[in-house]
Amino acid sequence: MKIRYGLGVATVLVATIALAGCSGSPAPAASDGSVSGTLTGVFDVNFKDTMEEIVANFEKKYPDVKVEFNYQGGDVGGLISTQLQANTAPDILLTFPGGDAGSGANVNVVTLASQGKLMDLSDQAWTNEVPEIWQSEVAYKDKTYAYPGAAQPLAAIYNQDALDDAGLTVPETLSDVYELCEAAAADGMYAYAQGLGETLAGPQMLSFGQTASLVYGPDPDFKSKLDDGSATYQDSAWVDQFEIYQKMFDEGCFGEGALGRDRKQGGDAVAAGKAFGIVDVGAAKSAMVATSPDTQYVVAGIPASDDGDLYVTALPGYTVAANAAAKNPTAAAAFMEFLAEPAQSVIYANGFSSVPIIPNDEYTAPADLEPFAALLASGQYAKLPNLGAPEVQVALNEGVQSLLLGDDTPESVAEKMQDAFDAANK
């Protein structure tokens, strides 16, 4: 399952397949005296400024190295896959987190590492600092193959100026959420500009945001319980989330025409001050800033209860790896080590409007990310849910639309997700 918005890909959720392949070659030791020559790389053109700042700092530290990055738009992952197959890939590679071991042309870390295409970075000190919850995104068979980058939120993105003008604050409980909906209606606005008409990803956003508190934060092993049959969607707090969804819709939280709105239109409404917020991936805020650059925004968890036990959903953006067949392996290893240094990690995170995954005392969250960063620091977060199969995501998005149209119930939507899960895992 892919959530595309600005970052190109946020994460991938697919069923586990058989392990295959071999591990990559160990990273050579890097030293000032041996780091020289030309180092090549490929990255997303949307983040060229961020990577170029890091590259300039690397060249300053290693003046005998000339770094040449190729910045691409469009399907950068497809380009890298083609280059790897043709043995023409550069030394440093943009990669996607996680994935499954075995064959395949995607450029997820686990997939490429299992095929022996990525450099083993396990000897680098920073690999021991990757939090356990994120290790599966960059490791294969207990070895680390990629820099984990930064975590972006899947959370509520509010127009802080609009809230201030209305004398309102960011909701901290579910009751606060309903009160925001009521206050918005009184002001001729609406609270959450969800893109409920965008079948591929719009309806799922609120569900992913609230199940952090209802399901995956309190029970990080929920997916494993689905796998062994000790849990089902219909007997879980997923049903509670769908009940909340129904109530929010009935109370006008999403405004007129929500079932025909896409996520971009929702973000535009928030930027224009027509809605107070939207629950979406953090990368969506970039489009809002581009539309209304002088507006102040804030990113916070979306409450799902009144017990004060708030979790936020977090997901990795791009990861960065070194080619196992790098033409300049020593410089490639040095660059990977440099990328993980605290100062460079801050540059990387800020460029993605995200928070470093590796703890970093040099990082100070900007005002708009402070609530999200605080939840990460306190451990009050859950990774983006692994639904078990792409078919389950389809059942979720279509089921929410059907629920809000009155053709399904919270229980029947959850049952449809379970049916899709069972069918995909026979």
What per-residue confidence (pLDDT) applies to 388?
85
What per-residue confidence (pLDDT) applies to 253?
98
Cα–Cα dist 145/117, whole Å: 10
User: Binning pLDDT at 50, 70 and 90, where does residue 31 land?
Assistant: very low
Structure-token match 């309190």, residue found: 218
Measured CA distances, 223 to 62, 203, 266, 362, 407 (Å) = 45, 21, 30, 34, 28
Would you state the structure tokens that stand for residue 195, as one six-digit string?
């893109």
What strands lie across the sheet with 65-72, from one edge to the other?
65-72, 37-44, 92-95, 319-322
What per-residue confidence (pLDDT) applies to 105?
87
What per-residue confidence (pLDDT) applies to 103?
87
Is the predicted pLDDT of residue 14 greater than 90, yes or no? no
CB-CB neighbours of 319 under 10 Å: 24
Is the predicted pLDDT of residue 6 greater than 70, yes or no? no
Tell me the per-residue pLDDT of 340-385, one tens digit each, with 9 for 90 and over.
Answer: 999 999 999 999 989 999 999 999 999 999 999 999 999 999 999 9
Cα–Cα dist 34/54, whole Å: 20
Tell me the per-residue pLDDT of 218-277, one tens digit each, with 9 for 90 and over.
Answer: 999 999 999 999 999 999 999 999 999 999 999 999 999 999 999 999 999 999 999 999
Tell me the per-residue pLDDT of 51-69, one tens digit each, with 9 for 90 and over.
Answer: 999 999 999 999 999 999 9
What per-residue confidence (pLDDT) applies to 7?
39
What per-residue confidence (pLDDT) applies to 9?
35
Would you state the structure tokens that stand for residue 257, as one six-digit string?
């025409």
Q: Mean pLDDT for the chain?
A: 91
Residue type, position 398, single letter: E
- Exposed / middle / buried, residue 18 (Cβ in 10 Å: 0-12, 13-18, 19+): exposed
User: Binning pLDDT at 50, 70 and 90, where does residue 286 land?
Assistant: confident
All structural domains of the chain, each given as residue ranges with its CATH number in brackets, are 37-149+317-352 (3.40.190.10), 153-314+382-424 (3.40.190.10)
Is the predicted pLDDT of residue 18 greater than 90, yes or no? no
Cα–Cα dist 414/121, whole Å: 41
Cα–Cα dist 98/66, whole Å: 30
What per-residue confidence (pLDDT) applies to 42?
98
Average pLDDT for 269-287: 94
Cα–Cα dist 319/298, whole Å: 25
pTM for the model stands at: 0.85
The residue ranking higher by pLDDT, 396 or 5, is: 396
CB-CB neighbours of 135 under 10 Å: 13
What per-residue confidence (pLDDT) applies to 283?
85
What per-residue confidence (pLDDT) applies to 4?
41
Tell me the per-residue pLDDT of 190-213, one tens digit each, with 9 for 90 and over.
Answer: 999 999 999 999 999 999 999 999
The alpha-carbon radius of gyration of the chain (Å, integer) is 22
User: Binning pLDDT at 50, 70 and 90, where does residue 19 land?
Assistant: very low
* Measured distance between the N- and C-terminal CA atoms of the chain, rounded to whole angstroms: 19
Structure-token match 């042309």, residue found: 105
Average pLDDT for 10-32: 35
Tell me the per-residue pLDDT of 108-138, one tens digit each, with 9 for 90 and over.
Answer: 999 999 999 999 999 999 999 999 999 999 9
Average pLDDT for 383-404: 95
Is the predicted pLDDT of residue 411 greater than 50, yes or no? yes
